[in-house]
Chain A
Amino acid sequence: MSSRRSRSRQSGASRISDEQIVDLVSRLQQLIPEIRSRRSDKVSASKVLQETCNYIRSLHREVDDLSDRLSELLESTDSDSAQAAIIRSLLM
């Protein structure tokens, strides 16, 4: 850290990007249901990143599960029912 301070030009740049990172991390925190209600000064950057990763993984899983569900729903609809025709014309 002290070596960075002695290089004045670089220390200016790293100070700006530290603020930027703090701002971006708090914006991330707002997006994540698990931690958005906590005070931003109480949640560490590493915690926000960890919860971000968990949240993205759970969203990926949901997309996959919903794709599963939808593929079954379209398969199981009775071929001659009115609602099957509606769903099919809308989707497939």
Chain B
Amino acid sequence: MKARMQMSSSVVKQEFFKKWIKGMQIYSAFNKEMTIMERKRAIKLSADVAIASTRSATTQWSRAVVADVSTSAAGAARAAAEEILGRKLPERKALATTCSKKIVRRSHQRRSKAAARGVVRSSAAIAKKLVRNRTRVLKRLVPGGKKLDEISLIKETLDYIACLQVQVDVMRHLAAAAESLDHQQISF
């Protein structure tokens, strides 16, 4: 496991903020008149790519976010992402969705052997099952989590949560600033 980049929170916040703004400016260069929905998408996608790029591909989750954008984004979204990342994105490839669907079907068909036998589980076994189920949910919530082992998943989660906190913090501050500017009357 690569060493996690130890950056101070304010450095990450500044980097995220700058990249986020860059992304949104690219969007508005493409489209002067955006609908609210388009603007929301611009804001959100720029933020997601910006926070992922502060990790510069050292984590699975950030790579998964970029890969997802590579396959699904076009036009302004693609240009904004490329500007934020500072490089061209690879050609759009279709996701291997059929493969993952098969896996999901198989796990749903798997019936608990203990349940079939009518066996009552020990509390340790129940705790183990709870952990396994919750790990499965966590794998779905963390980008790129599905292919990770339990230890790597938790390490990725630690980094992912720290970055989400930065993203939310900066977005919250900007929204508050924009709101207070909106309410004030600035006279020149």
**A interface residues, Cβ below 8 angstroms from B:** 17, 20-21, 24-25, 27-28, 31-32, 44-46, 49-50, 52-53, 55-57, 59-60, 62-64, 66-77, 81-83, 86-87, 90-92
Q: Is A92 a contact partner of B25 (Cβ separation < 8 A)?
A: yes
Q: How far is the CA of A52 from the CA of B178 in the complex (A)?
A: 31
B interface, over-half SS: helix
Q: Which B residues are CB-close (under 8 A) to A27? A: 158
Q: Which residues of chain A have C-beta atoms less than 8 A from B16's C-beta?
A: none
Main secondary structure of the interface of A (DSSP, over half): helix
* Given known A-B contacts A56-B164, A90-B21, A67 and B44 have beta carbons under 8 A apart: yes
Size range of the chain B interface in the assembly: 35 or more
- Let me know if B130 and A63 touch, CB within 8 A: no
Total A-B contacts with CB atoms under 8 angstroms apart? 122
Query: What residues make up the interface of B, taking CB atoms closer than 8 Å to A?
Result: 21, 24-25, 27-28, 36-37, 39-40, 43-44, 47-48, 127, 130-131, 134-135, 137-138, 141-142, 150-151, 154-155, 157-158, 160-162, 164-165, 167-168, 171-172, 174-175, 178-179, 181-182, 184, 186, 188
In the complex, how many angstroms separate the beta carbon of B169 from the nearest chain A beta carbon?
10
